[in-house]
């Protein structure tokens, strides 16, 4: 009996049982063909992808070469070919620290440095004094190397014992109150400071130029003593009328404070001017 081409067949005299071994061998052969077909197809796909990638790489390299003017990496300048210096010079800095500015007080603390002129106009210039909204009329001034002659009480010997060189006095007045400022000049700051600390008695009032005698003949007046640098400065203030000063007379205290502050500023300014001149003076090699 025959079932057509490719089907199982049995010959005459056979029992009619299928040949299982032959069928198994045929099935194995078909499986092997299918496997080789799959392997071959995979290899072809891999080769196709590789070709696409290679083409893309080549195309990219061409584009890069075109963008760089047709030069490849081997034609680019090396590090040693690049310029190492610029046309502009590099900044330089000095390792030497600048000298500190002169201290103004140094110039009014030592007679060897304090070389500016010393006279009444240098410390008490003009014809009047303005302190805020208060105006004081300038009266008489004087200058002498006889320090003790400008004092009352024990102050004369104190000035002499501490090496006083000279005394400059100036009187200012306002609204019936007059104040005399006495500026004593010493060689050093220590001498001036000691004289101010030891002060007893006081500077003698200076009258004249429209200012009558005041703070004399036992009148009670206000007295002050201060120092700055090599200068000690003293004030005596009271009423032109001759009446005694009390703690309630604030106008006398105000005039004395104004004259004290003004004298201090004049001394300090003297130091600032000399220090500024020294700072701007040309140096010699």
Q: Is 131 exposed, middle or buried (0-12, 13-18, 19+ CB in 10 A)?
A: middle
Q: What is the pLDDT of residue 133?
A: 93
Cα 261 from Cα 131, distance rounded (Å) = 9
pTM surpassing 0.85?
A: no
Q: What share of the chain is helix, strand, coil (3-state, %, to 5)?
A: 40, 20, 40
Cα 237 from Cα 176, distance rounded (Å) = 11
Range 151-175 burial, b when 16+ CB lie within 10 A, else e: bbeebbebbeebbbebbbbbbbbbe
Q: What is the pLDDT of residue 67?
A: 46
Q: Show the tokens assigned to 198.
A: 């030891």
Radius of gyration, alpha carbons of the chain: 57
Q: Show the tokens assigned to 36.
A: 């080789």
Who's near 149: CB < 8 A, 6+ residues apart? 156
Q: What is the pLDDT of residue 280?
A: 85
Q: What is the pLDDT of residue 91?
A: 65
Q: What is the pLDDT of residue 118?
A: 95
Residue 254 near residue 262, CB atoms below 8 Å = no
Q: What is the pLDDT of residue 279?
A: 86
Q: Give the mean pLDDT per block of 10 residues along the chain (285 residues).
A: 41 46 60 54 48 45 48 54 59 64 91 94 95 95 97 97 98 97 98 97 95 94 97 98 95 96 97 91 63
Within 10 A of 10 (CB to CB), how many other CB atoms are there? 14
């Amino acid at each position: 009996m025959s079932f057509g081409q490719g089907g199982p067949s049995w010959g005459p005299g056979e029992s009619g049982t299928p040949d299982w071994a032959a069928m198994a061998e045929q099935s194995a052969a078909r499986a092997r063909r299918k496997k080789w077909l799959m392997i071959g197809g995979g290899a072809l796909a891999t080769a196709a992808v590789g070709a696409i990638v290679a083409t893309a790489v080549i195309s990219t390299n061409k584009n890069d070469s075109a963008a760089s003017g047709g030069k490849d990496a081997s034609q680019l300048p090396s590090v040693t070919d690049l310029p190492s210096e610029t046309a502009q010079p590099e900044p330089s800095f000095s390792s030497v620290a600048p000298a500190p500015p002169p201290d103004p007080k140094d110039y009014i603390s030592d007679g060897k440095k304090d070389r500016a002129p010393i006279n009444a106009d240098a410390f008490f210039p003009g014809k009047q004094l303005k302190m805020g909204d208060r105006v004081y009329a300038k009266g008489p001034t004087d200058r002498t190397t006889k320090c003790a002659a400008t004092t009352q009480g024990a102050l004369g010997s104190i000035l002499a014992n501490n090496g006083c060189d000279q005394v400059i006095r100036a009187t200012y007045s306002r609204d019936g109150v007059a104040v005399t400022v006495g500026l004593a000049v010493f060689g050093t700051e220590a001498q001036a400071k000691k004289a101010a600390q030891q002060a007893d008695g006081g500077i003698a009032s200076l009258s004249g130029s429209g200012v009558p005698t005041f703070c004399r003949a036992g009148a009670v007046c206000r007295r002050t003593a201060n120092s700055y640098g090599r200068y000690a400065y003293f004030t005596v203030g009271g009423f032109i009328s001759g009446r005694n000063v009390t703690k309630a007379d604030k106008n006398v205290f105000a005039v004395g404070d104004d004259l004290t502050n003004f004298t201090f500023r004049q001394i300090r300014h003297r130091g600032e001017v000399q220090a500024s001149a020294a700072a701007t003076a040309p140096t010699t090699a």
